[in-house]
Amino acid sequence: MSSQDIPEENLPAAQSAGHDEHGHGAVSPADDKHPFADPGLPPHEHRIQDVDERAARRSERAVALMFTVSMLATVAFIASFVAIPVDKSVYIFPLGHISALNFALGMTLGIALFCIGAGAVHWARTLMSDVEIADERHPIEAEPEVREKVFADFKQGAKESALGRRKLIRNTMFGALTLVPLSGVVLLRDLGPLPGTKLRHTLWSKGKLLVNMNTNEPLRPSDVAVGSLTFAKPEGLEEHDHEFQNEIAKAALMIVRIQPDNIKDKRELEWSHEGIVAYSKICTHVGCPISLYEQQTHHVLCPCHQSTFDLSDGARVIFGPAGHALPQLRIGVNDEGYLEALGDFEEPVGPAFWERG
């Protein structure tokens, strides 16, 4: 666009006369009161939107478009949350198979927030005034007369409100202001169902057989050799079950056979069968699966943060950040010669949680 298409009164040359009032290009020489010279502000450079209304309207439409896209993305976020199943997965190159719900929520919310920010930035840079103004710095403290008047008015208002004399009103008002935030706390209940006692219990119960995770067959004492590490699950829990991951995260078991003379903890020996001990596979630090076993020391190591437990001494913590020992499952042998549980864990498995007491 050439300068011939812009009205003469909108040209930068015609507007330069107003620059001095804002200090653009002005210079204040040094004197006794101000030892440093004031160079002033650089000359203001006009944007195309400042002098051409058509360009300004194009910027306006661009900003409105970004805000509209943000609104549509927000609607898509809500629709995705309602419509897409939690267990649905999609293939996204190069990420691979990922949760369709997480991908949709992340993309729509990201677009919504980005468009709001981009629209605000474009609005500020192209349409809002960019004229720099110099002003003297003034003290922010009020004059003594003003402060005295404010304090006097406050005291007069407190006296007229009778807040100190009307104790019933004062106390009930404080009570109302204290309780009303609880309504917001109650709304947190909709964040999801309460856990109840499900964190304290697993699928293990009296009579449940110990099933080998690899062969999917019930275990006999002869299947567990001295120095070996075997992983087991409760009888009846199959990988195709809908709640398999949630249940195995609590019920996963590791079985080790130790010479009875090498077991130091009395209760551990009582809860074992011929030196076969069963402990939770879930680390008590952050819930990682334990999988590393040292035959000579009977130590098991969590690969995530190197918490180490002594399986010959009640699975107590001997190294690392874990807070407490691994829970032991009491086991025995049924009439058919298979290893079975004699009950559930007597304490919650995995890391501590806030209501654990």
| Same domain, residue pair 212 and 332 | yes
227 occurs within a structural domain: yes
Average pLDDT value for residue range 331-352: 91
Residue among 223, 194, 199 nearest 211 (CA) = 223
Based on DSSP, count helices (H) and strands (E) in the chain, helices before strands.
9, 13
Residue 64 lies in a domain: yes
DSSP string covering 182-200? HHHHHHGGGGS---TTTTT
pTM above 0.85, yes or no: no
Using one digit for the tens of pLDDT, what is the confidence trace for 176-188? 888 778 777 776 7
Using the predicted structure, report yes or no on whether residue 238 has a pLDDT greater than 70. Answer: yes
SS3 state of residue 231 = strand
Is 276 a domain residue?
Answer: yes
Question: Burial level of 90, CB count in 10 A (0-12/13-18/19+)?
Answer: middle
Residue 294: which of 284, 282, 306 has the closest Cα?
306
Task: Identify whether residues 244 and 330 lie together within a single domain.
Answer: yes
The CA distance from 355 to 213, in Å, is: 31
| CATH number for the domain harbouring residue 289 | 2.102.10.10
pLDDT in tens, 41-95: 788 888 898 888 999 889 999 999 999 999 999 999 999 999 999 888 899 888 8
As a whole number of angstroms, the distance between CA 66 and CA 123 comes to 10
Does 161 fall in a domain?
A: no
Residue reference for tokens 């120095």:
227
Residue 177 belongs to some domain of the structure = no
Residues 237 and 205 sit within 8 Å (Cβ to Cβ): no
Task: Report pLDDT for 42.
Answer: 80
Position 81 in a domain: yes
Residues 94 and 219 in one domain: no
DSSP 47: P
Q: What domain range includes position 113?
A: 45-130
Q: Are residues 92 and 212 in the same domain?
A: no
Q: Position 86: which residue type?
A: V
CA gap 328, 315 in Å, rounded = 8
> With 0-12 CB in 10 A as exposed, 13-18 as middle and 19+ as buried, what is 60?
middle
Q: Is there a single domain that holds both residue 212 and residue 335?
A: yes
Q: Tens digit of pLDDT for each residue in 207-226?
A: 999 999 999 999 999 999 99
pLDDT the model gives residue 129: 82
pLDDT at res. 1: 45
Domain boundary among 71, 102, 130: 130
**Same structural domain, 126 and 224:** no
What's the CA gap between 287 and 352, in Å, rounded? 9
* DSSP percent split of the chain into helix, strand, coil, nearest 5: 40, 15, 45
Comparing C-alpha atoms, which of 203, 210, 205, 207 is closest to residue 249?
A: 203
CB burial of residue 269 (10 Å; 0-12, 13-18, 19+): middle
pLDDT at 169: 73
Examine residue 75 and state whether it is found in any structural domain, yes or no: yes
**245 part of a folded domain:** yes
Number of domains present in the structure of the chain: 2
**324: pLDDT strictly greater than 80:** yes
Residue count of the chain: 357
User: Does 222 share its domain with 333?
Assistant: yes
Per the DSSP assignment, residues forming a β-bridge with 234 are: 210
Cα–Cα nearest to 282, from 308, 324, 251, 303? 251
Domain stop point among 74, 107, 130: 130
pLDDT of res. 24: 55
Distance CA 134, CA 131 (A): 10
Angle between helices 100-126 and 53-83 (to 10 degrees): 160
Segment 316-341 mean pLDDT: 93
Structure tokens belonging to residue 292 = 């590393």
pLDDT of residue 134: 74
